[in-house]
Chains A and B, each alone.
Chain A
Amino acid sequence: GIQVEQSPPDLILQEGANSTLRCNFSDSVNNLQWFHQNPWGQLINLFYIPSGTKQNGRLSATTVATERYSLLYISSSQTTDSGVYFCAVAAIKAAGNKLTFGGGTRVLVKP
């Protein structure tokens, strides 16, 4: 099946810093989503972005489907950005929109 790799696995930031999280995948996809899992375990949809660029406040994401990667940008980080960020993809050939999740990037933002 499709492979999803996220980097870096861990990230420690000072409040106010910017960062880039990366998601590489091994096959063509028709769905790519970024999630934030907060310290209470809640899974929050950040972006649905199988291709192109989107922005939502201090967060933005870019997916280059032809090169099989996606980037999540966090600008002016805040302590509330702490948690785990997951990338998940659905391979076109798999059908059914079945998401495969990466291992996550654990982000800690220090005040």
Chain B
Amino acid sequence: NAGVTQTPKFRILKIGQSMTLQCTQDMNHNYMYWYRQDPGMGLKLIYYSVGAGITDKGEVPNGYNVSRSTTEDFPLRLELAAPSQTSVYFCASSSTGWGEQFFGPGTRLTVL
């Protein structure tokens, strides 16, 4: 099993551009999450999903959108990128609503 994979690893965007961060898991987990980590801080939840077709906001959802059309994939969309979205983005998944979360390697995004 590859676990949780994320692409790309690094990306530089210009202000106002848009992009999609990809996240895929091969563990058949129902629950998936997007977190962001700003320099020197802990992670904060952006969006999460409890199953295909179901998504909900986390603590810091502004400026982002998500979709969950399959169990495996949970892409995160940035529209109109802003410097405040410069961060490292982590995707995670878990099999249950209380179980261990497994994290991907992260995507380092810089908006200039």
Q: Is A53 an interface residue (CB 8 A)?
A: no
Number of interface residues of B (CB under 8 A): 28
Which of A35, A42, A96, A102 is within 8 Å of B48, CB to CB? A96
Give residues of chain B (32-88) contacting chain A, Cβ–Cβ below 8 Å. Answer: 33, 35, 41-45, 48, 50, 56, 58-59, 88
Q: In the complex, A30→B58 CA distance in Å?
A: 18
Q: Which residue of B lies closest to A43 (CB)?
A: B103
CB atoms of B100 and A33 under 8 A apart: yes
CB atoms of A98 and B100 under 8 A apart: no
CB atoms of A48 and B100 under 8 A apart: yes
**Most chain A CB inside 10 Å of its own CB: which residue of B96, B101, B102:** B101
Closest 8 CB pairs of A and B: A101-B42, A48-B100, A30-B98, A101-B43, A97-B97, A43-B103, A31-B98, A98-B45
A contact residues vs B (CB 8 Å cutoff): 1, 4, 30-31, 33, 35, 41-43, 45, 48, 50, 86, 88, 90, 95-104
